């Protein structure tokens, strides 16, 4: 087996999630500064998830038909970076809607195709995935802390250039990562629909979509919520970073978790933590220690959840179905779920207020927990 291109894969994850660390928490402040309403912010911040509903199917289908997944990701990344330049042209809602739709459509190719490449490079050593993915968490921390401090002294418009710079960096790393040849597998001739209709696949995707719904208000309004309650932007950045620091610990510890628990047990525990986390954020926003605990739970609600879910997908979609399996998981789970969570969070925020919006997040996580407990029965569980 060729040597694992650890540094180049780690570098891509670093800059990809640094880009998310600049965009997700702080682009909302820019939108708020230019006069967008809560509903408009919710709609615009749903673009990444909305495009995941359709776009990854196209990228995964092209990859499964023999086109290099990394080649697709590289060309789409160039198009997405060029499209981002449109944010400098206008602050009108309709214009930004079109620009973000294009940006996210093209950049949605990157992560599932690089994930498939990473797992192909790893082969049967998927427990090592967390040691590579952890660098994405490091990148996110660097971005949320750095941008948070910067915006204490610079206007929110600075986010636009920061995001552009990070896009260029992750594009360069995407070109640097070597491609990986997908090994043949006995399931290659099996129609992908036969895999999709399996109860465990339906249960995982449905539950993951509900987890994405639960995170909708967090990713859209958490920074605004903190600032409205007297926290500085730099403190908001540190709270975001705390969650990802704990996530790093889980990614590093994942090989031990894999040995001690089944994937099903890890997923169930992750959803239980999400139920508690969003109740803490919704009801105890003025209690700093409660927020610290809630952010520590990000280790489970994203870290262990994502690593375990990726592991399940890798087991269920083999051979030439790997790229499409990752794309389908991302599009149905994070695309449909994330878009629904983002759209709904704007209306819930305006109509019910922050406390009950986060309570609904907790209910979505509870529903996902019950579905997994009922239907996800893997051979190793």
Q: Which two tokens stand for residue 280?
A: 């803490």
Residue where the block lists tokens 């090994």: 183
N-term to C-term CA, the chain? 30
Query: Could you please report the per-residue DSSP string of 155-178?
Result: -TTHHHHHHHHHHHHHHHHHHHSP
Which class for 42: exposed (0-12), middle (13-18), buried (19 or more C-beta within 10 A)? buried
Q: How far apart are CA 36 and CA 23, in angstroms?
A: 16
- How many folded domains does the chain comprise? 1
Q: How far apart are CA 346 and CA 99, in angstroms?
A: 20
Residue where the block lists tokens 């967008």: 36
pLDDT in tens, 31-62: 999 999 989 998 898 888 788 787 877 777 77
333-353 average pLDDT score: 88
Q: Is residue 163 included in any domain, yes or no? A: yes
Tell me which residue of 298, 267, 237, 212 sits closest to 381, measured CA to CA: 267
- Residue 333 in this model has a pLDDT that exceeds 60: yes
Q: Is residue 380 included in any domain, yes or no? A: no
Give residue 1's pLDDT band: very low, low, confident or very high (50, 70, 90). Answer: very low
Which has the higher per-residue pLDDT, 225 or 237?
225
Angle at CA of residue 126, ends 180 and 254, nearest 5°: 140
Q: How many CA atoms lie within 13 A of 66 on its CB side?
A: 0
Tell me which residue of 371, 45, 358, 55 sits closest to 205, measured CA to CA: 371
What does the pLDDT read at residue 187? Answer: 47
Residue where the block lists tokens 């009801």: 283
Which class for 363: exposed (0-12), middle (13-18), buried (19 or more C-beta within 10 A)? middle
Tell me which residue of 68, 29, 56 sits closest to 329, measured CA to CA: 56
Q: How far apart are CA 55 and CA 149, in angstroms?
A: 34
Q: Is residue 235 included in any domain, yes or no? A: yes
Q: How far apart are CA 301 and CA 212, in angstroms?
A: 10
Tell me which residue of 86, 94, 84, 85 sits closest to 43, measured CA to CA: 94
Q: How far apart are CA 139 and CA 299, in angstroms?
A: 16
- Residue 322 in this model has a pLDDT that exceeds 70: no
Which class for 25: exposed (0-12), middle (13-18), buried (19 or more C-beta within 10 A)? buried
Q: How far apart are CA 331 and CA 324, in angstroms?
A: 10
CATH code of the domain in which 19 resides: 1.20.1250.20
Which class for 105: exposed (0-12), middle (13-18), buried (19 or more C-beta within 10 A)? buried
On whether the CB atoms of residues 61 and 7 are closer than 8 A, the answer is no
Give residue 64's pLDDT band: very low, low, confident or very high (50, 70, 90). Answer: low
Q: Is residue 294 included in any domain, yes or no? A: yes
Q: How far apart are CA 328 and CA 54, in angstroms?
A: 9
Weakest mean pLDDT among 298-312, 317-331, 346-360: 317-331
Q: Is residue 381 included in any domain, yes or no? A: no
Tell me which residue of 211, 195, 186 sits closest to 335, measured CA to CA: 211
What does the pLDDT read at residue 124? Answer: 62
pLDDT in tens, 122-181: 766 666 777 888 899 899 889 989 998 999 889 999 999 999 999 999 999 988 888 766
- Residue 189 in this model has a pLDDT that exceeds 60: no
Angle of helix 305-316 relative to helix 110-122, nearest 10 degrees, comes to 70
Domain that includes residue 337, residue range: 6-375
Q: Is residue 143 included in any domain, yes or no? A: yes
Tell me which residue of 145, 96, 63 sits closest to 319, measured CA to CA: 63
Q: Is residue 1 included in any domain, yes or no? A: no
Which has the higher per-residue pLDDT, 76 or 119?
76
Torsion-angle region of residue 230: left (phi > 0), alpha (psi -120 to 50) or beta? left
Give residue 248's pLDDT band: very low, low, confident or very high (50, 70, 90). Answer: confident
Largest separation between any pair of C-alpha atoms in the chain: 58
Q: Is residue 39 included in any domain, yes or no? A: yes
Torsion-angle region of residue 90: left (phi > 0), alpha (psi -120 to 50) or beta? beta
């Amino acid at each position: 087996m060729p040597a694992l291109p650890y540094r180049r894969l780690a570098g891509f994850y670093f800059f990809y999630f640094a880009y998310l660390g600049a965009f997700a928490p702080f682009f909302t402040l820019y939108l708020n500064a230019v006069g967008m309403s809560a509903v408009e912010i919710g709609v615009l911040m749903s673009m990444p998830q909305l495009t995941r509903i359709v776009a990854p199917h196209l990228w995964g289908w092209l990859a499964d038909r023999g086109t290099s997944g990394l080649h697709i990701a590289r060309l789409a990344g160039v198009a997405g970076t060029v499209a981002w330049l449109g944010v400098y042209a206008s602050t009108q809602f309709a214009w930004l809607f079109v620009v973000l739709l294009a940006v996210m459509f093209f950049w949605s190719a990157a992560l599932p195709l690089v994930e498939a490449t990473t797992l192909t490079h790893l082969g049967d050593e998927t427990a090592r995935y967390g040691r590579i993915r952890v660098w994405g968490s490091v990148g996110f921390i660097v971005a949320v802390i750095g941008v948070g401090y910067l915006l204490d002294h610079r206007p929110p418009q600075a986010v636009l250039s920061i995001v552009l710079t990070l896009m260029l960096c992750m594009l360069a790393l995407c070109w640097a990562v070597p491609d990986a040849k997908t090994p043949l597998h006995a399931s290659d001739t099996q129609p992908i629909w036969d895999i999709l209709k399996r109860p465990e696949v339906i249960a995982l995707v449905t539950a993951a979509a509900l987890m994405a719904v639960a995170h909708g208000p967090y990713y859209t309004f958490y920074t605004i919520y903190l600032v409205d309650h007297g926290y500085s932007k730099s403190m908001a950045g540190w709270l975001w970073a705390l969650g990802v620091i704990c996530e790093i610990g889980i990614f590093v510890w994942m090989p031990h978790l894999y040995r001690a628990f089944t994937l099903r047990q890890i997923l169930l525990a992750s959803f239980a933590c999400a139920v508690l986390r969003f109740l803490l954020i919704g009801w105890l926003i003025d209690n700093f220690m409660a927020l610290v605990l809630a952010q520590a739970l990000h280790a489970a609600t994203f870290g262990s959840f994502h690593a375990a879910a990726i592991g399940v997908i890798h087991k269920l979609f083999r051979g030439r179905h790997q790229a499409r399996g990752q794309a389908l998981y991302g599009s149905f789970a994070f695309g449909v779920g994330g878009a629904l969570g983002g759209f709904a969070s704007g209306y819930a925020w305006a109509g019910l207020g922050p406390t009950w919006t986060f309570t609904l997040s907790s209910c979505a996580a509870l529903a996902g927990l019950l579905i997994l407990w009922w239907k996800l029965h893997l051979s190793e569980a």
